[in-house]
Amino acid sequence: MKHILSTLCLSLCTICMAAQTNITPEALRSLDSQPASAADRAISNAIQNNSLSNMAKQNNNPSAQDTYFSIDIRNKGISDQKSSGRCWLFTGLNVLRHAAAKKMNHEGLMFSQVYLFFYDQLEKSNLFLQAIIDTRKQPLESQKVQWLMKNALSDGGTYTGVADLVSKYGVVPSDVKPETYVSNATSEFNTHLERKLREIAINIREKSAAGASQKQLEQYKMEQMKTIYHMLTLAYGQPVKEFTWAPRDEKGKYKSEPRKYTPQEFYKEWCQDAGNLQTDYIMLMNDPSREYNKVYEIDMDRHMYNGHNWLYLNLDIKDLEKCAIASLRDSVQMYFSCDVGKYLNKSNGLLDPNNFDYESLLGTKFGMTKKQRIQTLDSGSSHAMTLMAVDLDKDGNATKWKVENSWGPSYGHNGYLIMTEDWFREYMFRVVVNKKYIPEDIMKLTTQKPIMLPAWDPMFSPEE
């Protein structure tokens, strides 16, 4: 009876503790009631003096040894975004250069990222200031105005930004417009550029409150954009207007007579095989937290004021994979983005949930689904890369994938990352596929009216 009463009292105490709103001294004693075992003490000592990822790493993961791909679109040359958040731009241009390199038989071709990045920052600055004018009647404390002020400028972006920028400004080879120190390490300069934009923004609101018309505010904005343009030229150099160029062979000899191009002429002549980046491609998404087979649009998620918002079709992962495989079978690479930091073995470039055993190390289970990780902000797309290879089993199903990264040739597997199928399904989010590789029944879904989502939806931060 005494044992039963003791057990009952302990149970009641546990119930009482569970119902408390604060950690009381009694609750704290209950939390601290379990004595540490010898194993716990050993693990605690190790954790306090070492990296968790190094301790949890599975050194004998067999997937790390498998680098064969049944469909592999090879590239020559790995780009490096260095200390910048321009993965979206590197990825978009890497996909585009593959099509151009095939046309001109120039495998070593690289496009200049800094050329387009100049215009990206210029367009984003105008987008921000015009949005401030458009929202001038809203309270400064409103969610939209606060979001604008917080996100005045970023070096991150999405595929739609690549498509709009390339279509408007064209492209130039990297040897025509090389990187600068600032383009490779953007954060310091961006801090000052953002501060200037916010200063202009608050002046716009104050002028509006004093009675200035929209026309007067837009005139003021364009005057201030001269300062923004000047700052950008100081950091990234004057934009290329015209250049002389011809493809070279591996020994550096010209394959044809050099000729003059504008960036737009160069794009039209050498990149036409890629098709129209704005109209020929569809962004496919796998987001189980939202309804499948629906089109979604992200408000204000664009790079230009007159550009295109981020628009995508949300699909079951199996349908998305079929489209991606069809593209790779035809030797066409794709813009791809994922949550790259999850379970990445940095030494060999393998992305695999079996790379690390954090559960055994920390004595608990991590059981959230992909949907739950999205809903709790534990996971989301963070980085864009070029999807270029897949390994298929005898039934045509993917077993692993490979991407070209933009972190330099020494990172991962010679500059590439390899994803197991398990990882791909859990941590990939979007891929941009040419319409011709998308089945007719799925293409029909793209004609529906998009569901508009707010700009501050946490799932849709820029890819960096």
Please, which pLDDT band fits residue 279 given cuts at 50, 70 and 90? very high
Confidence class for position 18, pLDDT limits 50, 70, 90: low
Alpha carbons 281 and 304: distance in angstroms, whole number: 19
115 vs 1, more confident:
115
Measured in degrees and rounded to the nearest 5, phi and psi for residue 430 equal -150, 155
Average pLDDT, the chain: 92
What mean pLDDT comes out for the span 388-393?
97
Task: Transcribe 438-453 into DSSP letters.
Answer: S-HHHHGGGGSPPEEE
Check whether 38 has a pLDDT greater than 80.
Answer: yes
pTM over 0.85: yes
Q: How far apart are CA 35 and CA 175, in angstroms?
A: 65
Query: Percent of the chain having pLDDT more than 70?
Result: 95
Q: Does domain 71-247+255-460 have CATH number 2.30.30.90?
A: no
SS3 311: strand
105-134 pLDDT, tens per residue?
776 789 999 999 999 999 999 999 999 999
Which of helix, strand or coil describes residue 454? coil
Give pLDDT tens digits for 125-176. 999 999 999 999 999 999 999 999 999 999 999 999 999 999 999 999 999 9
* Cα 402 to Cα 229: distance, rounded to the nearest angstrom: 39
The alpha-helical segments, DSSP class H, found in 363-420 are 370-375
Q: What is the pLDDT of residues 246-274, one digit of tens each?
A: 887 777 788 888 999 999 999 999 999 99
Distance CA 418, CA 389 (A): 9
The two tokens of residue 30 are 């209950």
Dihedral of CA 101/105/108/112: which sign?
negative
Residue pair 298/460 in contact (Cβ under 8 Å)? The answer is yes
* Annotated domain spans of the chain: 71-247+255-460
Contact 246, 255 (CB under 8 A): yes
The answer for residues whose C-beta is within 8 angstroms of residue 151's C-beta and 6 or more apart is: 128, 455
For the annotated catalytic residues, the residue numbers are 87, 383, 405
